[in-house]
Structure 1
Amino acid sequence: MMSLRSIARSAPRALARASTTSTISRCQRTSNILSARPTSFLRTQQVSAFSTSLLRKAMAGEVDEEVSAKLASEIDFEKDVKQNEPLPASIKDFLDNSAFKVEDVPGREDVVLTRTFGDEKITVTFSISDLHSYEPDMMEDQAMEDDLEDIESGQNQQEQRTGAADLAEEANEDLEAGSDEAAVPCRLNIVIEKPNKGALNIEALAQDGAVVVENLYYYADPKLAHSTDANAVHAAQDAYPGPPFGSLDEDLQILMERYLEERGITQALALFAPDYMDFKEQKEYMAWLKNVKAFIDA
Structure 2
Amino acid sequence: MKYIARNLVTAAARNAAPRFSQAASIGLGARMCARVIQPVGTIRTLTTTMPMRVNGSSDSDLLHTLRDEADYEAKQAAEEGEPEFIQAFMNKTGFKIKTKTGEQKVTMTKQFGSETITISFDVGEILNAENPIADFETYRENDSGDVQKEAEINADDTPEDFAIGFTATISKNSTDMLFLELESNEGEVGVNHMRFLSNKDVSDISGMDLEWVRQKAYCGPLFGQLSDDLKENIDAFLAERNIDTGLTLFMQDYIEHKEQSEYLNWLRKFKSFVEA
CA gap 1:268/1:100 in 2 versus in 1, 3 angstroms: same
Q: Does 1:229 align with 2:207?
A: yes
Partner of residue 250, structure 1: 228
Matched, 1:211 2:189: yes
The equivalent of 1:143 in structure 2 is none
Are residues 268 and 283 of structure 1, via their aligned partners in 2, closer, same or farther at CA, if it must alter by over 3 Å?
A: same
2:163 to 185, 198, 202: 185
Residue 126 (structure 1) shift: 0.4
Query: What amino acid does structure 2 have at the position aligned with 1:245?
Result: F
Deviation at 1:113, TM superposition (A): 0.3
The answer on 1:128 being equivalent to 2:123 is yes
Structure 1 residues not aligned, in runs of 5+: 1-51, 138-174
* Structure 2 runs not aligned, ≥5 long: 1-49, 132-152
**Which is higher, the Rg of structure 1 or of structure 2?**
2
Q: Which amino acid aligns with 1:95?
A: M
Residue 172 of structure 1 corresponds to none
User: Between the two proteins, what is the percent identity of the paired residues?
Assistant: 28
Kept in 2, the 8 Å contact 1:260–1:266? The answer is: yes
Note if 1:266 corresponds to 2:260: no
Of structures 1 and 2, the one with the larger relative CO (CA 8 A, separation 6+) is: 1
Structure 1 residues 264 and 108 mapped into 2: Cα distance closer, same or farther (>3 Å)? Answer: same
**2:105 maps to amino acid:** D
1:71 maps to 2:66: yes
Name 1:29's counterpart in structure 2: none
8 Å Cα contact 2:129/2:158 also seen in 1? no
Counterpart among 101, 107, 115 of residue 112 in structure 1:
107
Change (3 A) 1:126 1:226: farther
Matched residues in 2 for 1:86 and 1:212: separation? 33
- Alignment correspondent of 1:239: 217
Seen in structure 2, the aligned counterparts of structure 1 residues 69 and 56 have a Cα distance that, compared at 3 Å, is: farther
TM-score by length of structure 2 reads 0.65
| CA gap 1:226/1:85 in 2 versus in 1, 3 angstroms | farther
1:67 is displaced (CA, Å) by: 1.1
- Greater helix proportion: 1
Aligned residues: CA RMSD: 3.0
**Which residue of the partner structure matches residue 202 of structure 1?**
180
Q: One-letter code of the match for 2:197? A: Y
Structure 2: how far apart are the matches of 1:180 and 1:90? Answer: 20
For 1:219 and 1:78, how far apart are their aligned partners in 2? 43
CA deviations 1:71-100 (Å, max 9, x no partner) are 112213323543565766643531332200
Q: How does 1:1-298 map to 2 (within 5 A)?
A: 56=52, 59-82=54-77, 90-132=85-127, 134=128, 136=130, 179=157, 181-221=159-199, 223-224=201-202, 228-298=206-276
| TM-score, normalised via structure 1 length | 0.61
Q: 1:212 to 1:87 in 2, by over 3 A?
A: farther
Q: Is this contact kept in 2: 1:184–1:207, CA < 8 A?
A: yes
CA–CA separation in structure 2 for the residues paired with 1:203 and 1:123:
12
